[in-house]
Amino acid sequence: MRIAKAIKKMATGNIVEGVFAINKPIGMSSAQVIRDCQTFFNPSSLFAPLMQKEREARELENKYQKNRRRGSKRQLQVKIGHGGTLDPLATGVLILGVGKGTKSLQDFLLCTKTYETIVLFGASTDTYDRVGRVIKKGQYDEVTRSAVEKALEAFRGKFKQMPPLYSALKMEGKPLYEYAREGKPIPREIATRDVEVTELELVEWYEPGTHTHRWPVEEAEAAEKNLVDSVWRVAKRQATTEDDAGTLTPEQQEEEEKAFAEYQSTKRKAEERVDELVKEEQPSTKKRKAEGSSQTSEKDAPMMSGALGKLPPSGKGSNLLPPPLSPDTPPPWEGKGPPACKIRMTVTSGFYVRSLCHDLGEKLGSGAMMAELARTRQGDFKLGGPNCLEYSDLLEEESVWGPKVESMLALWNSGSKAPQ
């Protein structure tokens, strides 16, 4: 009874909502970050008024609206979404919208972003990064800093980029990665995309033997190697022409444009679809009873704990990368191995960093892959900035993260919120 009165009293306070960013850890899905935020936000005093507002809105729903809520959707939680997913391999700025702030997330899909990536030379993978399977290996003795800087000149400004085979784009209603997984030839050439790199620089160079980055141990099967190699040959041929749109019929061009528009508009939802694969199963009623647990009703659920700390990561989306190799594991090469470098870039929407890493390796004739990726800026949100929360702060008590999140949302509502 006292809890209910406290909730009622706090619900009359200010409703806190808006947009802020969080520094996503490596290995974690963007959807898992949202779940972790909800784990702490749901019982907090900071978001109690927002939760009460949603509870009151649900009480006014008719029977049809209530029946539409099934399973997890019936659970009352702080409404959170993200403004552009980050791969599990990536770290950095993940923009989150809370409450009404979710309505502004679509704007961030089209804003410019700044990335820092580590490029490892000497081999190419099916996914264009270090967690894929090796497709081919190349010579890297002549890959020097000066050679890389010269090759980067071709990737500045506006140019056409081919998306990775393992992308969300579709061809004849089927995702491209399914053709690769099934070892089937793609029906036609993959259309390249108009992209723009406004800034591009090599910021660090790692000589052979001075870094710990490694190629994957697993190699792709022959059928997949043949398919991917044929796609790469198409990419090289398209790169030599000024405009490859003429290779498509009007119907095919329309399909490509439709697929790309769908990809852009559903980019945030893609993470939710992937997350279904790692969705944590809720224990059955029978199992809960056997364990002596009881399910608290939504109205009676305690809202005042807010003192959670050190609980995540525990979800199945918390560690989606294979465990790192032991330091004693011999490298997959003889001698000192290949060089690597760190590249910083500012790009427009629709740009694939992993494609740049791969294409850079192809241009140098050695092969290359993305070993690390960090999004350091998206729109006005920057790592270390006043509107970007460290994930480690989230794991502390509300007295630590609460004032920071409240300040960030206040900054957004004050007008510092225009995507760039």
Name the 3-class secondary structure at 24: strand
Render the burial of 227-256: b for 16+ CB within 10 Å, e for the rest.
bbeebbebbeebbeeeebeeebeeebeebb
Q: Residue 127 CA to chain centroid, in angstroms? A: 15
Between CA 304 and CA 306 the distance in angstroms is 6
Point out the catalytic residue in the list 87, 244, 359, 380: 87
Residue 95 structure tokens:
């923009």
Amino acid identity for residue 372 in this structure? E
Which of 236, 271, 242 shows the shortest CA–CA distance to 105? 271
Name the 3-class secondary structure at 92: strand
DSSP summary character for residue 338: -
Radius of gyration of the chain (CA): 24
Q: Residue 92 CA to chain centroid, in angstroms? A: 9
Q: Angle at which helices 48-59 and 2-11 pack, to 10 degrees?
A: 100
Contact between 407 and 148 (Cβ < 8 Å): no
Contact between 126 and 164 (Cβ < 8 Å): no
Q: Would residue 244 show up in a list of annotated catalytic residues for this protein? A: no
Contact between 369 and 140 (Cβ < 8 Å): no
Contact between 179 and 166 (Cβ < 8 Å): no
Q: Angle at which helices 267-275 and 30-41 pack, to 10 degrees?
A: 80
Task: Look at the block and give the residue holding tokens 């140019």.
Answer: 159
Contact between 409 and 51 (Cβ < 8 Å): no
Q: Which residues are identified as catalytic?
A: 87
